[in-house]
Amino acid sequence: MNVVAITGKRTCEIVQRPDPCIRGEFVKVAIRSAPMCTEVYGYRDGAVSDCLGHEAAGEVVEVARPGRVAVGDRVVVMPNHGCGQCSQCLSGEHIHCEHPVDPYQVCGSQTGRATYAQICIKQDWLLVPIPEDISYDHASMACCGLGPTFNAMQQMAVNALDTVLVSGLGAVGLGAVVNARCRGARVIALEGNEYRSALGRAMGAEAVIDPRDEHRLERILELTGGRGADKSVEASSAETAPAFLIQATRRKGQVASVGWGGPMLAREIVGKGLTVHGVWHWNHYRDTDAMFTTIRRSRDLLDKMITHVFPLREVARAWELQLTGRCGKIVLHPWD
Ligand SMILES: [Zn+2]
Ligand SMILES: [Zn+2]
């Protein structure tokens, strides 16, 4: 099968690798849509690898034994490989699994972890069936495109009365705009890149403020009657972003971080009575209907958010575009 390999700084190629092997509850999925995420940093820095990507939607093409899915099923591929047996996995929180498994060891396979590839392998219980009326590209947004910020909205019960502050309008933060708008909330965003600021506004953010603006806090207070945002989502991974969101959120408000950068301020969290959520992914045992309802009701916004689609063989062009910052979410098609 065709697989993307980073071979040096800003160089990559399509290489041939053996098809993966499966065993037990693992199945083979032919990847139809592979959204691009943080792999671009490895491309920029020359982190040599032929195992790239963690987001995919595709079609089941082989099962090792009869189970939860069958050949021909259209599925979203959830990230990572939980054990399926710890209390986290059993409650749909597999992303926080206590004992993740190595699919190569379980299956005796040398490939199948990557999603910048034509075929991946996954346990059947980590595949979410896609409703007939939803395309692969839109369904694949249930990975990082919408997934983490969707769960942030679930945790904070975001609704039409809220003003939501979104920090960062990149490949994850743009999804926060979709999720918040789908719930009728008002959105204020922080983003310094001009292209993404314009995209955020086109997707329904009422105001987009440059995080380098020294008056950014005053501007947010002006827009919120002097109180601050009701609920905030950190999706930039910038070092100073979590502490700033804590400042810019109102007393007794909520802050969710899906970004992994920066310290928080216990003093302000306690003093303002804030609720803080750490959110990695979403719970597909509990919230699959809500996720697909979000996708269904946000088709127009998703078409704006997915700014580019490339065949896998043009991955270098896609990465170069990502490095310019002049894109929203990019999706690769491995079989085109
Ligand atoms: Zn587990
Ligand atoms: Zn991702």
268-292: per-residue pLDDT in tens? 999 999 999 999 999 999 999 999 9
On whether residue 139 sits in a domain, the answer given is no
On whether both 264 and 327 belong to a single domain, the answer is no
On whether residue 223 sits in a domain, the answer given is yes
Say what the pTM is.
0.97
**Residue recorded with tokens 């979403």:** 282
On whether residue 142 sits in a domain, the answer given is no
* pLDDT for res 265: 87
Ligand nearest to the CA of 83: 1
Q: Is 26 exposed, middle or buried (0-12, 13-18, 19+ CB in 10 A)?
A: buried
57-105: per-residue pLDDT in tens? 999 999 999 999 999 999 999 999 999 999 999 999 999 999 999 999 9
* pLDDT for res 217: 98
Strand partners, 208: 189
The answer to whether residues 84 and 92 touch, using CB atoms and an 8 Å cutoff, is no
Domain range for 232: 147-278
Q: How many domains does the chain have?
A: 2
Ligand nearest to the CA of 55: 2
174-219: per-residue pLDDT in tens? 999 999 999 999 999 999 999 999 999 999 999 999 999 999 999 9
Ligand nearest to the CA of 87: 1
Tell how far the Cα of 84 is from the centroid of ligand 1, in angstroms. Answer: 5
Tell how far the Cα of 237 is from the centroid of ligand 2, in angstroms. Answer: 13
Tell how far the Cα of 38 is from the centroid of ligand 2, in angstroms. Answer: 6
Q: Minimal CA–CA distance to 283: which of 158, 96, 59? A: 96
Tell how far the Cα of 93 is from the centroid of ligand 1, in angstroms. Answer: 8
On whether residue 11 sits in a domain, the answer given is yes
The answer to whether residues 49 and 6 touch, using CB atoms and an 8 Å cutoff, is yes
Q: Is 41 exposed, middle or buried (0-12, 13-18, 19+ CB in 10 A)?
A: exposed
Ligand nearest to the CA of 95: 1
Q: Is 121 helix (H, G, I), strand (E, B) or coil?
A: strand
